[in-house]
Structure 1
Amino acid sequence: MESPISKSVVFAYLSGQATPIEIQSVDDWLKKPGSYEVFCFMLLEWEREHAQFTPDREKAIANFWERVESPSELTATSYGSVPAKAQQGITRIARRLLTIAACMTLLVAAGWLFSDKLLYKTIHTAYGEISRQVLPDGSEVTLNANSSLRFPRLGFGKDTREVWLSGEAEFSVVHTDTDQRFIVKTPKDFQVEVLGTEFSVFTRTRGTKVVLNSGKIRIDYRKEGKPAQLTMRPGDLLKMDESGDIRMETTKTPEEHSAWKERRFVFDGTPVSEICQLLEENFGVIVRPSNGEIGERSITGNFETQTHEELLDILREVFALETRKQKDTLMLYQKQEPTIFN
């Protein structure tokens, strides 16, 4: 039987390398009577040309989820009686399905089926990298450098939408018909609960910060070992230090706290010591002031920087500093005035 679909297209379809148009053309062709027999023969030929190998479990799981998240499913159709040769292809498919079932049984026995790697997806950003991600519910997250976000692969539950953040991110949360709560959890017994709003969360070693752009959010935390709550409104700025003490402020420009999305740093009386922490958190570069006086100097302004060197250049120029490398640390020293001899 002549096929309107070329073998190369079907092979690309089976290997996951077909274009969206090719995938659609194969899916449409498989709905036509008689196409299934030809497809089975092509499947047998493709399997003969692609020898099996001992799989890498980590890589296999990653590939499995890649295919799950970009599926191209065959449509089940009734075709009546099937010729003997086609039955061979169907038998091969059945064996493959049994193999998959056996693998799933092994995964259950090994505790992998319900492990984090299968149930949850984690996105990491490198130093200097900013990433945007659309969550299963349509909410959008912009992840700052050196941060990670973990969320369910197969969609959120019925009552809540929970994600786990380490680092810094801005969230734009969509409202659901069932009023599902959206919860951002952090490693510090601190979580943000929202219903359709825009806000940013900063959670790193030196403390936690939440800025609300619009809407309304509730903060759940622990105070003296007991659960506590507070509500934030647009313009509120919440800060929690390393000891767990919380301070609430207001800001007229909440959007400036997520200026990092545009690779901008907005400083308002920001000390050099804090900028050194920003350099380490965002670029992985360890910078330290050589003395307390340099660390306490402050700067105000809006600076666009793509690299850590550009930000260091600002410090060098504004405060007349120079950097000296000591092992893996850049130390900030006051630049020495050249000696003039008469």
Structure 2
Amino acid sequence: MNKEEAKELILKYNAGQCTPEEQQLVDNWYQQFAADEGTGLSETDFEVLKKEMWAAVPEETGTQKTHKLWPRIAAAASIVLLAGAALWFSRPYIPGLRNETSIVYTHDIAPGKNRATITMEGGKRIALSDGKSGVVVAAGKLSYDDGSPVAGISGGSAMEMASVVTPRGGTYEVVLPDGSKVQLNASSSLKFPSSFKSLAERRVELSGEAYFEVTKNKKQPFIVKSRNQEVRVLGTHFNINAYTDEANTRTTLLEGSILINQKILKPNQQAVQADGNISVREVNANDAIDWKNGEFICREEPLESLMKKISRWYDVEVVYSNPELKERTFSGSLSRYDHVMDVLKAMEFTGTMKFKLENRTVRVL
């Protein structure tokens, strides 16, 4: 459920036009909100929200009825319109089924952050600073994106080949010798040369997921080798998801054009590679870079797929009490900046499942 859909539901509720299931869903939001710590809004922000919601309420609903239902409207608006964290599972909400958020946890887990290591060709491995957001390779030397030197590399010494690796719960940007930018998602790696000058191609190797902004150079194609495929470009923006624990490798184009295993991809198209066969489909390309923009965006996505993303970003293991839960599909969005308990709590708002967090294990109940 997106913000507009949530707003429509709240207005429908206020007008007394909800189905019993819809009314139960809004009541469930309010019950959870009331049991929680409150809106977290300042008095001024709350009044602004209140005026906006009043302005959107149809006049024929009546003043007395609106006053009566306002607490529920304010709660749902705060949770859905401002936090943007409620999910709407494709399985219909069943009144009375796990209505309350009741996550059992021993401690919370913070979201991932800038974390990575770089391994030089000779095997030297250096932990990159989590206080920096990226590294720059220029003239065969390495520095951080703010110009400061990388500790452990004396005098910005030259290198031949290098690999940047992000762990679970880590992300990092790499600026390549040609100025191309690569943002690595969690549990990913990028292998690249220190210079492209004497090479006919700008070739790199990816494992995991990354977003590429490739500097244009018609004379020197840029090639990304990942699981069972090669992406060839002259200069463009695209995302590759090539995790080994996923069934498919997905390449999504945002602008320009790319050649992938002899197939041409256009903007807002995604190539899905499975067992050497590639199919192309139309998509919203921005959904593919939700992770880069700090979100988990889901459109009829199986729970197993979302939990893999959560597992990588929060560095947690996921265990299912019932394998059938993996197939449940849903749509919505969650923030990657939230702690894991807040993410799980937002998912529990649907009333269709429970979670138990023990150390770094999430149990789906």
Check whether TM > 0.5.
yes
TM superposition shift of 1:122: 1.1
TM superposition shift of 1:195: 0.9
Give the distance between the partners of 1:247 and 1:286, measured in 2 at CA: 31
TM superposition shift of 1:59: 5.6
What is the correspondence of 1:17-28 to structure 2 with a 5 Å cutoff?
Answer: none
Equivalent position amino acid for 1:264 in 2: E
- Deviation string 1:70-115 (CA, Å, 9 cap, x unpaired) is 69xxxxxxxxxxxxxxxxxxxxxxxxxxxxxxxxxxxxxxxxxxxx
- Corresponding residue for 2:328? 297
Identity %: 29
Aligned length: 218
Equivalent position amino acid for 2:234 in 1: L
Give the distance between the partners of 1:128 and 1:211, measured in 2 at CA: 23
2:164 aligns with one of 110, 123, 129 = 123
Contact preservation (8 Å) 1:130, 1:261: no
Question: Any idea what SS the aligned residue of 1:260 has?
Answer: coil
- Corresponding residue for 2:196? 155
- Corresponding residue for 1:315? 347
Contact preservation (8 Å) 1:279, 1:286: no
Give the distance between the partners of 1:126 and 1:290, measured in 2 at CA: 27
Contact preservation (8 Å) 2:141, 2:159: no
Give the distance between the partners of 1:61 and 1:304, measured in 2 at CA: 30
Seen in structure 2, the aligned counterparts of structure 1 residues 276 and 61 have a Cα distance that, compared at 3 Å, is closer
If asked which structure has higher relative contact order (CA below 8 Å, sep 6+), I would say 2
Gaps of 5+ in 2: 1-121, 128-136, 144-157
Contact preservation (8 Å) 1:167, 1:203: yes
Contact preservation (8 Å) 1:276, 1:286: no
Seen in structure 2, the aligned counterparts of structure 1 residues 315 and 182 have a Cα distance that, compared at 3 Å, is same
Give the distance between the partners of 1:208 and 1:200, measured in 2 at CA: 11
Give the distance between the partners of 1:60 and 1:270, measured in 2 at CA: 37
Give the distance between the partners of 2:322 and 2:178, measured in 1 at CA: 49
TM superposition shift of 1:327: 9.6
1:240 and 2:273 aligned = yes
Stretches of 4+ moved more than 4 A in 1? 57-62, 65-68, 325-329
- Corresponding residue for 1:283? 314
TM superposition shift of 1:249: 0.7
Give the distance between the partners of 2:265 and 2:332, measured in 1 at CA: 27
Contact preservation (8 Å) 1:181, 1:195: yes
Contact preservation (8 Å) 1:272, 1:289: no
- Corresponding residue for 2:362? 330
Question: Any idea what SS the aligned residue of 1:275 has?
Answer: helix
Equivalent position amino acid for 1:332 in 2: V
Give the distance between the partners of 1:67 and 1:231, measured in 2 at CA: 33
- Corresponding residue for 2:28? none
Contact preservation (8 Å) 1:285, 1:308: no
2:206 aligns with one of 150, 153, 165 = 165
Seen in structure 2, the aligned counterparts of structure 1 residues 266 and 201 have a Cα distance that, compared at 3 Å, is same
Bigger share in helix: 1
Contact preservation (8 Å) 2:138, 2:195: no
- Corresponding residue for 2:304? 273
- Corresponding residue for 1:195? 234
Seen in structure 2, the aligned counterparts of structure 1 residues 325 and 308 have a Cα distance that, compared at 3 Å, is closer
Give the distance between the partners of 1:322 and 1:61, measured in 2 at CA: 40
Equivalent position amino acid for 2:219 in 1: D
Q: What is the TM-score with the length of structure 2 in the denominator?
A: 0.53
Seen in structure 2, the aligned counterparts of structure 1 residues 211 and 67 have a Cα distance that, compared at 3 Å, is closer
Q: RMSD value over aligned CA atoms?
A: 3.1
What is the correspondence of 1:1-342 to structure 2 with a 5 Å cutoff?
Answer: 69=141, 118-176=159-217, 179-186=219-226, 188-205=227-244, 206=246, 207-220=248-261, 229-241=262-274, 243-251=275-283, 253-306=284-337, 307-324=339-356, 329-333=361-365
Give the distance between the partners of 1:291 and 1:322, measured in 2 at CA: 12
Give the distance between the partners of 2:306 and 2:140, measured in 1 at CA: 43
Question: Any idea what SS the aligned residue of 2:350 has?
Answer: helix
Give the distance between the partners of 1:247 and 1:209, measured in 2 at CA: 10
Seen in structure 2, the aligned counterparts of structure 1 residues 194 and 125 have a Cα distance that, compared at 3 Å, is same
Contact preservation (8 Å) 1:156, 1:162: no
- Corresponding residue for 1:18? none
Question: Any idea what SS the aligned residue of 2:354 has?
Answer: strand
Give the distance between the partners of 1:174 and 1:298, measured in 2 at CA: 38
Give the distance between the partners of 1:250 and 1:315, measured in 2 at CA: 28
Larger Rg: 1
Report the more deviating stretch, 286-295 or 199-208.
286-295
Give the distance between the partners of 2:358 and 2:334, measured in 1 at CA: 27
- Deviation string 1:40-80 (CA, Å, 9 cap, x unpaired) is xxxxxxxxxxxxxxxxx866999xx9996269xxxxxxxxx
Equivalent position amino acid for 1:272 in 2: L
Give the distance between the partners of 1:218 and 1:185, measured in 2 at CA: 12
Give the distance between the partners of 1:214 and 1:267, measured in 2 at CA: 22
